Amino acid sequence: MTHRRISTRFTELFGVTHPLVQGGMQWVGRAELVAAVANAGALGFITALTQPTPQDLTREIERCRTMTDRPFGVNLTILPSINPPPYAEYCRAIIDSGVTIVETAGNLPTEFVEMLKPAGVRILHKCTSIRHALKAQSVGVDALSIDGFECAGHPGEDDIPGLVLLPRAASTLSIPFIASGGIADARGLVAALALGADGVNMGTRFMCTVESPIATPIKEAIVAATERDTELIFRPLRNTARVASNSVSREVVRKLAEDPRFEPVRELVAGARGRRVYEEGDPELGIWTVGMVQGLIDDIPTVSTLVDRVVEEACGLIEKRLTGMSSRVEEVAA
């Protein structure tokens, strides 16, 4: 069990022990993983749209509560769609279930801020650029997740990596923010804190844990992969997504290079196929999301082991390497 903690503006705001977040992940953010993250002292998010209906989300929240009495949240990703999900109904399910932490992503969540905040819900919003972060801050979100180009899923269209994006955020924003993309261990946490973040989000790393509700062969594929084994799909459509490199994603890249329209790749990128990847364990069945950080992942620990390890090793890095280096700092004559 971890006996030390790193307290930040983020941990104080959201009432968690450690500045570690398991963000919402489609088909992955289910009760068993979220409860394990909460019990380890970090902050986990149930993915609302993994649940087919708002009523299913209510049941998933209730299921999570049977496994933990610690804080957890719900992710609600807001994307443009011809037939959008009933977002307002999902929001109502969150409020009625007494959840007080929501992670939003995608479009600016103005109407959801107006709906959730009066109910006492604190909102963490994901952004891939400083301009979008400033806009989200202006509409009243409580904290931000700043996603660098390394991240899984949608990295935006600016291609700015975390090493640049995070200090820019620290210089620009007034509310707490966490770093997302490319983080799997204590080194990533300490680096993010040094760059000005108040914590870190780990998606791919939490996918690859014992409690993660995806098939073991997919976890093993992540362990075996390198940082080079991802593809950026939908670039010609200005809706870039980072996914695992497989025969399907490479075909999507090839087709869009020849014909930059969605229709020719519609069947290849169907969400139902991606869900089968996680359920059946065949990494070639469809498109599935993973980050470059898979190159840093070499085991499948329990969530508790992972969180303990990250926090303990981060404290050690701060004390031994960074504090220790202070004795090697010398003044020199001008």
Task: Write down the pTM of the prediction.
Answer: 0.95
| C-alpha pair distances (Å), 50 with each of 26, 82, 246 | 6, 18, 23
E strand or H helix at 8, and its extent?
A: none
For the record, the structure tokens of 5 come out as 């903690």
Helix 54-65 vs helix 31-39: crossing angle, to nearest 10: 40
Residue 50 sits at the vertex; the CA angle it makes with 48 and 12, to the nearest 5 degrees, is: 40
| C-alpha pair distances (Å), 207 with each of 145, 166, 202, 224 | 18, 24, 9, 14
In contact, 204 and 297? CB cutoff 8 Å: yes
CATH for 9-213+306-318, among 2.60.120.460, 3.40.1030.10, 3.20.20.70, 3.90.1150.10?
A: 3.20.20.70
Enumerate the CATH 3.20.20.70 domain ranges in the chain, comma separated: 9-213+306-318
pLDDT by residue for the chain (334 residues), tens only, comes to 547 899 999 999 999 999 999 999 999 999 999 999 999 999 999 999 999 999 999 999 999 999 999 999 999 999 877 789 999 999 999 999 999 999 999 999 999 999 999 999 999 999 999 999 999 999 999 999 999 999 999 999 999 999 999 999 999 999 999 999 999 999 999 999 999 999 999 999 999 999 999 999 999 999 999 999 999 999 999 999 999 999 999 999 999 999 999 999 999 999 999 999 999 999 999 999 999 999 999 999 999 999 999 999 999 999 988 777 666 666 666 6
